[in-house]
């Protein structure tokens, strides 16, 4: 199951208490207060790893608490520090404070580590309070409590190319054709309910990661059809491939379909439209009216958009599409 949102509770360890003790030994002429300090509580860190690709585990384990520090002991023995806790998340996770919405950290690299909560300081033992005028202190400090916070996690896929378009335009079929990804494919809208990633070979040792974004509909930017959940996965992509159905079974206007998705991208984040965008006419094998293809191609030429017609079933145009996408990602290629 692909889960890209989670809310977790984290708490750093409490500091250990200071100790009240006095040293009374036969061969120690200078006895006196000997209570040691408490150890600090364990810190809570968050670290990204490429070994995870979903936030599913946090649905079953949403609470994380680091170990408390050990209490001080006599003979000025310091309590041991609490063990640190590391919470591992997938690369691409964004951590925000749930109460304020403030960004805490954006985990874009494997092994990136961030401190979520620092352990509480250990309390001082009574040996720390001894002075020439106060030689028998009987006070010690309790350990400081470890801070706690609620964190909201959002996973944004890291991909070079994002496939966008209305439902059932052939995104899943395309990614299954050009990569080893095996998304569910069926002839009904919203077959794909979770984004999927595939690695595409572009020849000569070059490859790129392609993301199949579930179908968007009008109003996606405001949450219609779960669109706001899917759109965030486009934010990190470098190139957008906009798929448009050319078959006759929908009876839709290809230019109108492009404008619907284009508007949703603009309303969600205008910066998305500054990225290279390739218009891909799909289901060429089911095209019955050549004028439909010609009209879309002419409109793209007028708008300055690159256009490629493909059939993921027969393979027509696939190699050209991969080359064009590779050239956009690596201009010198």
| Series of mean pLDDT values for 10-residue runs along the chain (333 residues) | 81 96 77 91 94 85 95 92 95 92 92 95 93 88 95 85 84 83 56 69 79 65 49 81 82 84 85 88 84 89 92 89 86 46
What pLDDT is stored for residue 215 in this prediction? 61
Predicted local confidence at residue 184, as pLDDT: 55
Give the span between the Cα atoms of 254 and 295, in whole angstroms: 9
**Closest alpha carbon to 151 in 53, 3, 44, 249:** 44
Q: Where are the domains of the chain?
A: 5-155, 161-329
DSSP string, 232-262: GGGTT-SEEEEEEE-SSSS---HHHHHHHHH
**What confidence score (pLDDT) does residue 230 get?**
66
pLDDT at site 331:
56
Q: What is the structure's pLDDT at 14?
A: 97
CATH code for residues 161-329: 3.40.50.300
pLDDT of 47 reads 96
Looking at residue 226, its pLDDT comes to 46
Q: Which pLDDT does position 220 carry in this prediction?
A: 44
pLDDT number for residue 143: 94
Confirm if 290 and 249 have CB atoms less than 8 A apart. no
Q: Are 57 and 4 in contact (CB under 8 A)?
A: no
Q: Do domains 5-155 and 161-329 have the same CATH topology?
A: no
Give CATH for domain 5-155: 2.70.210.12
């Amino acid at each position: 199951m692909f889960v890209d949102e989670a809310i977790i509770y984290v708490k750093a360890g409490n500091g250990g208490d200071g100790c009240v003790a006095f040293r009374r030994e036969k061969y120690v002429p200078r006895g006196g207060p000997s209570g040691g300090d408490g150890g600090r509580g364990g810190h809570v860190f968050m670290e990204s790893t490429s070994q995870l690709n979903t936030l599913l585990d946090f649905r079953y384990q949403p609470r994380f608490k680091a170990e408390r520090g050990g209490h001080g002991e006599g003979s000025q023995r310091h309590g041991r520090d609490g063990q640190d806790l590391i919470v591992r998340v997938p690369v691409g996770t964004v951590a925000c404070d749930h109460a304020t919405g403030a960004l805490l950290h954006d985990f874009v690299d494997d092994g990136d580590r961030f401190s979520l909560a620092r352990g509480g300081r250990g309390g001082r033992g009574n040996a720390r309070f001894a002075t020439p005028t106060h030689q028998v202190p009987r006070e010690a400090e309790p350990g400081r409590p470890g801070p706690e916070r609620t964190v909201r996690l959002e996973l944004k896929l890291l991909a070079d190319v994002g496939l966008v378009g209305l439902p059932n335009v052939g995104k899943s079929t395309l990614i299954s054709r050009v990569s080893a990804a095996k998304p569910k494919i069926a002839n009904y809208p919203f077959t794909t309910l979770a984004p999927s990633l595939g690695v595409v070979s572009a020849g000569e040792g070059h490859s790129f990661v392609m993301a199949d974004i579930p179908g968007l509909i009008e109003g996606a930017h405001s949450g219609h059809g779960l669109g706001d959940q899917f759109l965030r996965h486009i934010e990190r992509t470098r190139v957008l491939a906009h798929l448009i159905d050319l078959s006759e079974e929908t009876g839709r206007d290809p230019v109108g379909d492009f404008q619907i998705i284009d508007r949703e991208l603009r309303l969600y984040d205008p910066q998305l439209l500054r990225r290279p965008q390739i218009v891909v006419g799909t289901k060429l094998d089911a095209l019955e009216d050549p004028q439909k293809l010609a009209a879309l191609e002419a409109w793209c030429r007028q708008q300055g958009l690159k256009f490629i017609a493909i059939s993921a079933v027969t393979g027509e145009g696939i190699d050209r599409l991969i080359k064009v996408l590779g050239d956009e990602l690596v201009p010198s290629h």
